[in-house]
Structure 1
């Protein structure tokens, strides 16, 4: 009895002491601190910025993402006591919340009242504070999004500041509002209270240019930024993927290929440890190690093994040609390349191996590693799979990708662990995905889209990724999709259009959506997938230097002809360009932007990025934040002093001959500086038809191609993009011009 009383007294004293500390640290009332303490201890809550938002000048609206039944209790404990909380009906009636409801004023949520409530505006104008709980949906439905618009109107009328709040980890609580099959439960997940500085809607809307008409978009974007803010960017890729294995279970199937089947997190990590030890024995920490592998489980194991051992994975583009491979190996100072003899033989890449060796690299073959790995090594790896081989640092390089070399020698783009984790989580904060999804990835990992969205995003989000080694198998890929039933797919318009031509009506029927990038999506491609497969293509925009995704359309925020709106935490600015009236040269900044370049003239030397990156793209942004790509700065022709977008020319031609592929290139012209040549697969392409069509649609005369060159197929890069360097060379040869 005495022992029990003593133990109870010790717990009570400790509780009171911790509550007193929290009261002082966060500026809470003692009642708030007392009721907050159990949460703080049980969930090891990270709450560093809360003092700032408590001290924010009123009027303030706290925009809270409501993920679990616990959220109202947390917010009632942490927000100022004069805050009016608009609770959902279940929270307003719940008996266990009664002690917390006594901490501040609360009213039951009524959607109709929120839309028209003058009372809430009066509360705010009286230097008040309002807490609104938004549904936990990355892509809310139309009804839910009305709440964003309603709160935006209230904030505008009261000139209130917005403070978004997201409790990272709350989705996994037993009290989560998300179905268990979409969010596996954990008893005591670590929680992170992510908050952003108070800003008015006018300030939010004007951050990237002119104020937006739809201020609900600005509010939604700020809340999404808080969602992303819960990401711990101090965790490296190895740690972030291991965290995912803790959330979804070590036995959760996460990758699959056509060779070795399905691997769980545990099996993946065990294989990575064996591989990492072999790489560790042959290379130095921080060294760039080449990866010359297709989309397979072995490629993912190799990447994870390198990150575990503190090496940098240099993804070699084996479709770039021997000269570019040699240049890439020398630029990144690659001394060891990981590959497979079976792959080299099957893909006929002996010349690529020779090119890499000429650059100074030696090969480490996966077959040799398998043959020399003992049972004891496998057993030890299975036992120690959770631990990395080297200390992890998110700020250090993780991957090197190479540009196409269209502007000379390929440049090496150096991406840190932080860059890649950030971009994957930025995408997760904008697109609805879950552990129930199966992502079909046909894009190679040497392409940044295939690496981040097709490989890293599934690993950190719990989606199963089905990896296919080549995007060019147009007949086989639809058949496999029909058997594997993917729900999400990534690709380029060229690849998607070819898959549709060979697909049966049921092959892609399981898809929820497709994320397309690298090139504009044709209206016909979009229509085919929508009508035949009921799958929506959401178009995005990215670049290798951004790891790569910059903007994307979504279910609720979509506008055809655009590439969507910026992902959370990315900033842009548009610099004026002579001859371009609507739009400007795009500069970007954000946590996903590369560390810097390595170049052929300064091999192995990282040339650090200074804050903003010049993308070289000419874009325009409407007042709702949707971005339209006008073209690369180098993809403009200067004709008689006027700037003409070659991309716009291609779009015009595509409208006339939608079934074919087209590329517009600029060639020298003695009289007008440059002239436009159309290279097309359209057999019936006629210059007179094109002139009439352009005139009917109000196109300027300068946009009409001077010559038409007909080909069977357009040259493409390994990523599926049009190879404009080869296309221009082909056009000039056909026209008898000097290359």
Structure 2
């Protein structure tokens, strides 16, 4: 018997050796590297990117050291002659004894060893601190490595080992990275950065932009370490595998708490019902508030291979019916309790009168049998229907702030990619709790406020309405979030009613959808010790396109472009210091659905999306929004930004709210009308301030209209359609005076 066992062991060893020899030949690596790679694949299910063609010059490989496993992965993947600089702990690790014995290693920080290797034509791997948002000294280290690459004619590439942070050798505290015995790992790598076209004239000289270039490579490698070839249901299940033991991850104002597993069981059970009443790929409407039920319903549709059409219940009956027609929606999922509490009887009647069926979730839940529940419990890890990551997953409708809303069709990859792009730039962990008040029918509320936190282990609290200015701060005091998303309008409203202790748990607020006023930043910094960072996006980019961060933040801008995205600026007549922004990347929508051709996807023809925004980009890559192309007025032949006028007025009257619109003028073509809550708002005071502000006379509004509130959309954006109607009606009623102007 012992002889038989020995024979089996010898046979397995021989098979392993043959596999290693084949792998060594296939990957052109050494036998020890191949053996290490086989072990890593077997134990940690390691996935590697395609190996790049051998570089004609040495390469400095930089990576954020998440654990002691990282260098083992890189040693098995990189060129056999690569010199690996080892962190102090890796120099002493028994686990890495074989690497130190066989491979070429040196101490981290040994610049002389790096220079000697590069001079000899060897590549080098260099560990860096693990933070997503690097400290200044880390950024300076990036610049040093770039200068060494330039001096020796080397390239520079970033790598990232996703999953190693959850291993027993993790450098992160357990409070931020739950431990697993054998976590799944995946290696991501950036493009190769050369310095031929970006270098200063002197060989080896530093370039102040090098720090940002290397930082961007690190973010790109981190982004690429995600597996985006998964449907959203499976991506949520992957998050469950990593973070599922941490307890409830989803909570709402009704007191409900759900773990990852309970959420998936509920989605699987509900999905079976939805599958029976619809066709594969069909869009079903979701008319629900921010509550646990909307997440379960969303995932149920993803499990069933259906498309979730997120309906804006604040838009009014006509807009809802238009959205249903545009996306050819035959069924809407809603809740009787929600409709009764929110007073949505009129929109519901309009939906039913349009011939669309409303399915009440309370009744559907009651119809799920014990056998169906048991089936969901057993098969909770598997979606009901396989999907491709490129398939449509969501239809969202543009806010209609400047015209008729359109249906924006986003794929599984679009949404997953945008969450991954944000995670590569913003430091979040299981130690965080996100307080989401933004409605999930808005893309910022869906991707940023729901999918992003759940995919990366951040506990999520859903609040049903951002308009509860008095109640919401008190809820935040009980929930104690560390992160919140919002718009400037909402944040200013909360600050007016909040006590100083209500938001004391916050460390970070990400604001978007409209420009953030300096006054809002100041209030949250001084009263609550929270940092407000501004981002920029649109529904068509799922939605985030650029964002500031703690390490890269410039007031007056919306930050730098997210990893894996590209931009170009097209010239605009009459504007010299900015251009019309076009963007491309994995988060760009599949296309539009238009009311003129219901149900038909209008795909992007070139992969580039015209944002309709006029922006300026500085030498460091920070994007400053000049305004919407449609929100420029042409006065006496000169283009004037309505957004810039609003910023000017906000500096003069920071505690009030303002909207600038343009009306026709017989002499100058157009003129500016300011709709404002300021009372009184004196034009002479504004004209005097404009001179100190450095504005031209054309930027001073010709008329000022006082209102009690600036009209808002459900997303928190200014409703410029309504603001324009207010201005037009006011001008019409004062036509006699206007004709004399």
TM over 0.5: yes
Hey, what does 2:465 align to over in structure 1?
470
Q: Give the secondary structure class of the aligned counterpart of 2:296.
A: helix
Q: Conserved in 1, the CA contact under 8 Å of 2:37 and 2:73? A: yes
Residues in 2 aligned to 1:631 and 1:729: alpha-carbon distance in whole angstroms: 20
Establish whether residue 676 from structure 1 lines up as the match of residue 677 from structure 2. no
- Residue deviations 1:654-688 (CA, integer Å, cap 9, x gap): 11111100111111011111101111111031111
Q: Give the secondary structure class of the aligned counterpart of 2:545.
A: strand
Q: Conserved in 1, the CA contact under 8 Å of 2:534 and 2:547? A: yes
- Residue deviations 1:114-162 (CA, integer Å, cap 9, x gap): 4xx5x63454244332211112211122232322122122223233211
Hey, what does 2:725 align to over in structure 1?
729
Q: CA deviation at 1:199?
A: 2.3
Which of 224-233 and 131-140 deviates more? Answer: 131-140
Determine which of 657, 663, 683 is the counterpart of 1:687. Answer: 683
Q: CA deviation at 1:711?
A: 0.8
Q: CA deviation at 1:40?
A: 2.6
Q: CA deviation at 1:204?
A: 8.1
Q: Provide closer, same or farther for how the CA distance between residues 631 and 361 of structure 1 changes in structure 2, counting only shifts above 3 A.
A: same
Across the aligned residues of Structure 1 and Structure 2, the Cα RMSD in angstroms comes to 2.0
Q: Conserved in 2, the CA contact under 8 Å of 1:84 and 1:129? A: yes
Q: Provide closer, same or farther for how the CA distance between residues 378 and 251 of structure 1 changes in structure 2, counting only shifts above 3 A.
A: farther
Q: Provide closer, same or farther for how the CA distance between residues 48 and 528 of structure 1 changes in structure 2, counting only shifts above 3 A.
A: closer
Please show how residues 559-578 of structure 1 align to structure 2 within 5 Å: 559-578=554-573
Hey, what does 2:158 align to over in structure 1?
164
Q: Give the secondary structure class of the aligned counterpart of 1:253.
A: coil
Please show how residues 445-594 of structure 1 align to structure 2 within 5 Å: 445-594=440-589
Q: Provide closer, same or farther for how the CA distance between residues 240 and 374 of structure 1 changes in structure 2, counting only shifts above 3 A.
A: same
Establish whether residue 149 from structure 1 lines up as the match of residue 143 from structure 2. yes
- Residue deviations 1:567-610 (CA, integer Å, cap 9, x gap): 11111111111111111111111111101000011100001112
Residues in 2 aligned to 1:61 and 1:266: alpha-carbon distance in whole angstroms: 42
Please show how residues 157-236 of structure 1 align to structure 2 within 5 Å: 157-201=151-195, 213-236=208-231
What TM-score do you get using the length of structure 1 for normalisation? 0.95
Hey, what does 1:43 align to over in structure 2?
44
Residues in 1 aligned to 2:410 and 2:675: alpha-carbon distance in whole angstroms: 35
Establish whether residue 28 from structure 1 lines up as the match of residue 4 from structure 2. no
Hey, what does 2:78 align to over in structure 1?
79
Q: Provide closer, same or farther for how the CA distance between residues 254 and 201 of structure 1 changes in structure 2, counting only shifts above 3 A.
A: farther
- Residue deviations 1:44-90 (CA, integer Å, cap 9, x gap): 2222422x15x122131111221111222222233223322221122
Q: Provide closer, same or farther for how the CA distance between residues 428 and 204 of structure 1 changes in structure 2, counting only shifts above 3 A.
A: farther
Q: Conserved in 2, the CA contact under 8 Å of 1:327 and 1:359? A: no
Residues in 2 aligned to 1:725 and 1:584: alpha-carbon distance in whole angstroms: 24
Q: Conserved in 2, the CA contact under 8 Å of 1:289 and 1:335? A: yes
Hey, what does 2:87 align to over in structure 1?
88
Unaligned runs of 5+ in 1: none
Q: Conserved in 2, the CA contact under 8 Å of 1:204 and 1:218? A: no
Hey, what does 2:409 align to over in structure 1?
414
Q: Give the secondary structure class of the aligned counterpart of 1:199.
A: coil
Hey, what does 2:338 align to over in structure 1?
343
Hey, what does 2:348 align to over in structure 1?
353
- Residue deviations 1:399-458 (CA, integer Å, cap 9, x gap): 100112345432100001111111111111111111121100001111000000111112
Q: Give the secondary structure class of the aligned counterpart of 2:572.
A: coil
Q: Provide closer, same or farther for how the CA distance between residues 16 and 140 of structure 1 changes in structure 2, counting only shifts above 3 A.
A: same
How many aligned residue pairs are there? Answer: 728
Residues in 2 aligned to 1:301 and 1:204: alpha-carbon distance in whole angstroms: 49
Which of 248-257 and 339-348 deviates more? Answer: 248-257
Q: Conserved in 1, the CA contact under 8 Å of 2:403 and 2:721? A: no
Residues in 2 aligned to 1:267 and 1:370: alpha-carbon distance in whole angstroms: 15
- Residue deviations 1:461-505 (CA, integer Å, cap 9, x gap): 111110011000001110000001111100001001111111111
Hey, what does 1:11 align to over in structure 2?
12
Determine which of 121, 124, 128 is the counterpart of 2:122. Answer: 128
Residues in 2 aligned to 1:278 and 1:673: alpha-carbon distance in whole angstroms: 58
Residues in 1 aligned to 2:642 and 2:66: alpha-carbon distance in whole angstroms: 47
Hey, what does 2:203 align to over in structure 1?
none
Q: CA deviation at 1:177?
A: 1.5
Establish whether residue 656 from structure 1 lines up as the match of residue 659 from structure 2. no
Please show how residues 377-388 of structure 1 align to structure 2 within 5 Å: 377-388=372-383
Q: CA deviation at 1:726?
A: 0.6
Unaligned runs of 5+ in 2: 201-205, 736-741
Q: CA deviation at 1:213?
A: 4.5
Q: Give the secondary structure class of the aligned counterpart of 1:588.
A: strand
Q: CA deviation at 1:384?
A: 2.2
Q: Give the secondary structure class of the aligned counterpart of 1:357.
A: helix
